[in-house]
Amino acid sequence: MPSSASPLVSVVIPVYNGEEFIAEAIRSVLAQTYANWDLTVGNNCSTDRTVTIAEQFAARDPRIRIHTYPQFLNVIDSHSMAFTLVSDQAEYCKILDADDWLFPTCLEEMVKVAEAHPTIGMVASYVLNGVTVQAAGLPYPSTFMTGREVCRLRLLNEIKVFGGPSASLIRASIAREKRPFYNPANYHGDIEAYLDLLRDHDFGYVHQVLSYTRKGEASPTTYRLSQLHSDFAQDLDEVTKFGPVYLTPQECAVRLKEVTRAYYRLLGSSAVALRGREFWDYHLRQVRGMGYRLSYARIAWHAALRIADIVGNPKRTIEAVFRRLSDRLKRKGGPR
């Protein structure tokens, strides 16, 4: 797309001590086939070589600038701050995590869909997570869906196609209206923000892999949340907040019952597995933030069911333990 006729896309990279991957992220923006972009590196008080590396790129390209936050922010607030750095002239904005990168046609393909449908508030696409393609599930060639349609698919059928910050393009006017953009109490604030904005806007989708996200310990926040099994609390939170918005009362009641049962099953199994304080602190805080109080009787009941399953199926239990040990050894580079 020729830059003179194209809307400006403002890309922001929020980063804290990202010297290992920041250059790769910046190079992926420089390699875009779409020319009309600017890039701001939101430096969250990094203490390593992050700023030095970013400054080297900025010295060679006037479209790149560095903004250092006045004080250190947690990861959620850092991403919300990134949205305040979007250029005033931008039609679209894109958050790019510092340990992720974009494929060359990412901005071009996303802007093309958004420009074809002025009611679209956000555009997403397939994501390469390590070696696995994620954020799939929509039938081809569904490049346009109403916000209600895609949210119903997520809540009822668990078709999760938002893909996270690096995989999404947001209409900048929407980001400017919502401050902070992410709920500061929710580690999955990006998903909550998308479900909220799709009340009033439509959804665009590109059936191509347009972004890459790192997997495992190379992406500390995502890895930590996966270890805490945060998705179970997230599912409960989503249905609680947005079920009444997008589902019928009967659908909402059924789905709430399903996700609540799954959550207590996780907590019961975790009690038997003697999970540590970090796990329980996280889940107690999340449930309290949703306005719920955990039923310890239900946790005990599901723990008893888990113990009965272990006793009744020792072979399966031993195999599961060995699988977990094998996975742990692989992550640590041990024998395979």
Q: Where are the domains of the chain?
A: 3-223, 228-331
Give the model's pLDDT for residue 2. Answer: 42
What Rg, from alpha-carbon coordinates, does the chain have?
21
Full-model pTM: 0.85
In a 13 Å sphere around the CA of 112, the CA atoms on its Cβ side amount to 14
pLDDT band at 223 (very low <50, low <70, confident <90, very high): confident
Residue 219 has a pLDDT of: 62
For residue 272, give the amino acid letter: V
Please give the Cα distance from 241 to 111 (Å, whole number).
Answer: 30
Residue 3: which residues within 8 A CB-CB, separation 6 or more? 35, 36
Mean pLDDT of 88-114: 97
Percent of the chain with pLDDT over 90: 69
pLDDT exceeds 60 at position 320: no
Confidence of residue 334 (pLDDT cuts 50, 70, 90): very low
- pLDDT confidence of residue 180: 93
> pLDDT by residue (tens digit) across 233-258?
889 999 999 999 999 999 999 999 99
Q: Is the pLDDT of residue 316 over 70?
A: no
CA dihedral 158, 162, 165, 169 (to 10 degrees): -170
Residues 6+ apart with CB under 8 A from 176: 86
pLDDT at 308: 87
pLDDT in tens, 127-153: 999 889 998 888 888 899 999 999 999
**Are 144 and 120 in contact, with CB atoms under 8 Å apart?**
yes
Q: Examine the pLDDT at 34 and tell me if it is beyond 60.
A: yes
Helix crossing, 249-272 with 277-289: angle to 10°?
A: 160
Q: pLDDT tier at 321 (50, 70, 90 boundaries)?
A: very low
Query: How far apart are the C-alpha atoms of 139 and 150, rounded to whole Å?
Result: 11
Architecture of domain 3-223: Alpha-Beta Complex (3.90)
Written as one letter, the residue type at 313 is: N
Could you tell me how far CA 19 lies from the centroid of its own chain? Answer: 22
Instruction: Quickly state the pLDDT bin for 157 (edges 50, 70, 90).
Output: confident
* pLDDT attached to residue 285: 84
For the stretch 184-222, pLDDT in tens is: 888 788 999 999 999 999 999 999 999 999 876 556 667
pLDDT class of 292 with cuts at 50, 70, 90: confident
